Amino acid sequence: MECDETLSFIFVVIKNVMLLINIICPILLMIGLGKNFIFLMSHPEDKKGLAKLKNSVVAFLLVIFIPLLLNVTISWYDNTYNFSLCIENAKYEGGDTEYLEVNEEEKKNFIIPSSEYDEPIISNKYKIAELAVALSPTAEPSGHLSEPNANPWNKINDSRLNNFYEVMDLTIGKYGDNNAYGSCAQAAGGVIRATADPDFNVANPEGQMRYLKNNPKKWKYVGMVKAGERFDEKCKPGDLLVCESHTMIYVGNEMARKKFPDTRGNMFQAGYVENSHAKYPSLDLVETEYRDFYIYRSTGEGDYQKPFISIDKYLDY
């Protein structure tokens, strides 16, 4: 399930109603409970007074525990429907769009929208895609840089990968006993650490999904590309796409063609098939998939424990 504008509006209404209920109902019930208690103390022989007191206590407990029960129920289905993220991030953004006027200095932090961008993009979001393109040694339709039976955590002798190796060494270095070179999670993770989030999880796609979900200030969940749906229709350059078994970065064909003018590629990804081959990063044409992917977008905010690295020298196209 994805959080489109209609669903976000519904959740906003629900959240506001629940907020009023959580504030007003306990107050009213406590007043009623107090009145019934005073009445019972004054008229101990009145059985109706005791019944009213019991009803007030039950009503008070229901109001307190219904939200808890609702959260537990939602959590049962959260892995499938991602309800909690929708509810937590729900906000209504309908109506006219306002664009802020910025001076020349501030414009350096923005990229003016082109045909592929329908909203201003803060520089670090844009640089995710920009660096991913810069570090790619190949692009569709020229083929992949693959090594049969290769260890994806070892360097191969190809000068086109030198900048990629350097960025991986600076941002990740070693993960456990392995270098970060040829796996999907670590190739994407190194780019993210250099441009948007230096604390980003690089363990594996599942670990990255947990990190993204637990850091809503840094990463906004913006929807899902379901199996068979087109990535170009839902993604923006710099979006991170993740599922239980794969991680990749959408760069868009317009950005990819800045380095590879004839490419059809739109996606930065690496991969490894055990006992088969290590596929090093490239800009591939990924239109649809057989599996669902969650879309996360950098907010440009958050507190970081590690420093960014300078990426300007790698942006040579």
Distance CA 155, CA 174 (A): 13
Number of residues that this document lists for the chain:
317
Average pLDDT estimate for 134-145: 87
Distance CA 317, CA 23 (A): 57
Is the Cβ–Cβ distance between 264 and 142 less than 8 Å?
A: no
Q: Give the number of other CB atoms < 10 A from CB of residue 117.
A: 18
3-class secondary-structure state, position 85: helix
Closest CA to 281 of 176, 131, 171: 131
Closest CA to 89 of 2, 159, 148, 21: 2
Distance CA 244, CA 267 (A): 18
Summarised one tens digit per residue, pLDDT across range 43-61 is 766 666 666 667 767 776 7
Give every CB contact of residue 222 below 8 A, 6+ residues apart in sequence. Answer: 3, 239, 295, 296, 297
Summarised one tens digit per residue, pLDDT across range 77-131 is 544 444 555 555 554 444 333 333 434 444 344 333 333 333 333 456 679 999 9
pLDDT for res 266? 96
Strands 267-273 and 146-148: unpaired
> Which of 26-40, 162-176, 194-208 reaches the highest mean pLDDT?
194-208
Predicted confidence (pLDDT) at residue 302 exceeds the cutoff of 80: yes
Distance CA 34, CA 268 (A): 64
Predicted confidence (pLDDT) at residue 251 exceeds the cutoff of 80: yes
Strand order in the sheet with 240-242: 146-148, 277-284, 267-273, 247-250, 240-242, 293-298, 219-225
Predicted confidence (pLDDT) at residue 298 exceeds the cutoff of 60: yes
DSSP characters over 253-292:
HHHHTTTSTT----EEEEEEETTTEEEEEEEE-----SS-
Average pLDDT estimate for 262-280: 83
Distance CA 298, CA 109 (A): 15
pLDDT for res 9? 62
Tokens 């509810």, located at residue: 87
More confident residue, 285 or 96: 285
pLDDT for res 114? 37
- Measure CA 89 to chain center: 11
Provide the pLDDT confidence category of residue 280 given band limits of 50, 70 and 90: confident
Query: Which 8-state DSSP code applies to residue 220?
Result: E
Provide the pLDDT confidence category of residue 282 given band limits of 50, 70 and 90: very high
More confident residue, 31 or 50: 31
Rg (CA), the chain: 26
Predicted confidence (pLDDT) at residue 175 exceeds the cutoff of 60: no
Give the DSSP H/E element, type plus range, for residue 247.
strand 247-250
Predicted confidence (pLDDT) at residue 185 exceeds the cutoff of 50: yes
pLDDT for res 119? 39
Query: pLDDT averaged over the chain?
Result: 76
More confident residue, 149 or 88: 149
pLDDT for res 35? 74
pLDDT for res 244? 92
**Above pLDDT 90, what percent of the chain?**
37
